[in-house]
Structure 1
Amino acid sequence: MTTKISIIVPCFNEEESAPLFYQAIAETFQKLPNYQPDILFINDGSTDNTLNKLRELQADPTIESHYLSFSRQFGKEAGVYAGLKNVDGELVTIMDADLQDPPAMLIEMINLLETTDYDCIGTMRSDRSGEPPVRSFFSNLFYRIINQISQTKIVPGARDFRLMRRGMVDAILEMSEYNRFSKGIFSWVGFKTKYLPYQNVERVAGSSSWSFWSLFKYSLEGITDFSTVPLIIAGWLGLIVMAIAFVSLIFIFFQTIFVGNPTKGWASTISLILFLGGLQLFFLGVIGNYIGKIFMEVKHRPLYIIKEKK
């Protein structure tokens, strides 16, 4: 009896990588005769020839594959959720098409899942070789910050590449929120997970669609999705500034009455006003970000729209 493994592969402009990924999966599962792979590619509004490549793979009888094509780009998080909703394997994995998630690791992951009581076998990068130092620095900083301010702990270097039992997948699907941060969701559901470290792997083809700015915005999404500490910081900082201002007013009052030396310094006064104004605007932005998330949630818009599927 064979066990079906659903492989979810979000794609954005992966015309070169998708066929290579398909071939690598076929080679890997030749070593796993008791497991039946079923690949589901998610075309996330690609502007290159990715969709045609996915159509061509349908004619290849080597392994079973399907695809969903969105009406536009909805983002990787929407692609992951769409994949989870549209697969029925007993085991489910999420992988990148660029082969930065080594398919050969599936052999060890499957063995661990089948011989232990773990619900999920995840992966984590043990190094960031080949990555710009600035990006590595901010990535490590993000993990330190979010693990300090959030009750949901995220393993540094954790990837979306993981093998899950059906029970964990069903639990994730219960979390249908519009604002999604999968690494946090995988941790929040609380199933027993073991992480396998591996060295960073370069893309097999093409270029990453993740710029520094998009990664920065994604990290902010993760922080505000799983922590209200920024709001608490805003409140406490406001109280501290107010206390300092009150003490300063008392000092200025008594200095003027008893010393007869009115406070001077137009430039310093304006500087303080500008500083406090900027601080207020910054935290209004923080609060606005949370309100914006509420606004998007209450609209109940779909996370994605499927234009074509096969």
Structure 2
Amino acid sequence: METLAIIVPCYNEQEALPLFYKEASKVLEKLDYDYKLLLINDGSKDNTLSIMKSIAEKDEHVKYLSFSRNFGKEAAMYAGFCNANADYVCVMDADMQDPPSLLPEMLEILHTQDYDSVATRRKNREGEPPIRSWFAHRFYEIINKISDADIVDGARDFRLMKREMVEAIVSMTEYNRFSKGIFGWIGFKTYWLSYDNIERVAGETKWNFWKLTKYAIDGIINFSQAPLSAVSGFGVLMTVVSFLMLVVVVGRKLIYGDPVAGWASTICVIIFIGGLQLFCLGVIGHYIAKMYLETKQRPHFIISETNDEDAVKLK
């Protein structure tokens, strides 16, 4: 019998997790697979871990991994990939925005068609603030233009993959992870399954506007050198402009004898140039910070508690 592993990263999902488990187990029990529901507790501060333990005691298909602290969703997904020893591996959220009812269709596509994964995307962003949707669309446009990663607008982390693709993801051991970019960068044939946007069944979203902005910036830096090229371009442009202005000022002095005046405008130019330099240094600093974290080679996650005897607890 073929095996199926469902990876579910959880952070403060005490309200949604029981509802997700009820719906997911209902779907999984009807499938002809030896399945494992792998729940990842990403340092939750509520009763998420207790609920996981309670579910695992009643259902032998449920395994849980509990981090020693909050390492982030990317680390939770990576821990799941490292511990999901199955023919087919799926990632989905516990908030029911990734409907378990799509799993049979996704499995059918991988069995009957020549694809390595089935990924999901939202047809629309109903229920989201308009400004957030606008920025999201712009992000996908920008990152697809400036990077090698193929990221579809509206793509979710909800994805079903064959074993070969999962092994490729696990082999990418970078500390600064951006899974949407990794999925696109490694290639493999992907079928995109669209569905209407679904709001959370319970609890509150952990992704506010500023966290999403930081996530977008991390994605651009992790998969593109375009910001560094832009900084270089700014430097060349300002050098050329400054040289031309110097020629004009010296020429007017020599030809017309005009006095070099304009203290206020000079200060404005100095402040502008200083601000531009600090901005450029900030962009370069982001890349250096990423390199600094990579060179430390710290583990992506630390598992402090689990009911899976074969779990990889540190990687």
- TM-score where L is the length of structure 1: 0.97
3-state SS in 2 of match to 1:301: coil
Structure 2 equivalent of residue 24 of structure 1: 23
Gaps of 5+ in 2: 308-315
- Equivalent residue for 2:87? 90
Alignment of 1:27-38 (within 5 A): 27-32=26-31, 34-38=32-36
CA distance in 1, matches of 2:276, 2:193: 43
Identity of aligned residues (%): 52
Distance 1:283 1:133 in 2: 31
| Deviation string, structure 1 residues 268-310 (Cα, Å, up to 9, x no partner) | 1111111111111011000000000110001000011111011
For 1:49, the equivalent position in structure 2 comes to 47
The AA in structure 2 aligned to 1:87 is A
RMSD: 0.9
Question: Residue 100 of structure 2: SS of its match in structure 1?
Answer: coil
- Counterpart residue number, 1:125: 122
The residue number in structure 1 matching 2:159 is 162
C-alpha displacement at 1:3, in angstroms? 2.0
Q: CA deviation at 1:58?
A: 1.1
Asked if 1:281 is matched to 2:288, the reply is no
2:242 aligned partner, one-letter code: A
Give the aligned partner of residue 201 of structure 2.
204
Q: 1:57 & 1:152 partners in 2: Cα distance?
A: 38
Name stretches of at least 5 consecutive residues in structure 1 with no aligned partner.
Answer: none
Matches within 5 A, 1:208-287: 208-287=205-284
Q: Deviations over 1:192-219 (max 9, x none)?
A: 0011111110001000111111110000
| SS of residue in 1 equivalent to 2:118 | strand
In structure 1, how many angstroms separate the alpha carbons of the residues matched to 2:80 and 2:162?
15
How far did residue 266 of structure 1 move?
Answer: 1.5
> Partners of 1:126 and 1:277 in 2: how far apart?
45
Asked if 1:188 is matched to 2:185, the reply is: yes
What is the one-letter code of the residue matched to 1:7?
I
1:263, distance to aligned residue in structure 2 (A): 3.0
Matched residue SS, 2:18: helix
Deviates more, 1:3-12 or 1:257-266: 257-266
Query: Counterparts of 1:151 and 1:189 in 2: how far apart (Å)?
Result: 10
How far the C-alpha of 1:66 sits from its partner, in A, is: 0.6
Give the C-alpha shift of residue 144 in structure 1: 0.7
Deviation at 1:59, TM superposition (A): 2.1
TM-score (norm 2): 0.96
Amino acid at match of 2:57: A
Match of 1:59 among 36, 57, 60: 57
Counterpart residue number, 2:312: none
Q: Which residue of 1 aligns with 2:313?
A: none
Residue equivalent to 2:2:
3
| CA-CA distance at 1:221 after TM superposition | 0.4
**Can you list the C-alpha shifts for 1:42-94, whole angstroms capped at 9, x where unaligned?**
00000000000000001223x61110000100000000000000111110000
Partner of 1:40: 38
Post-superposition offset of 1:37: 2.4
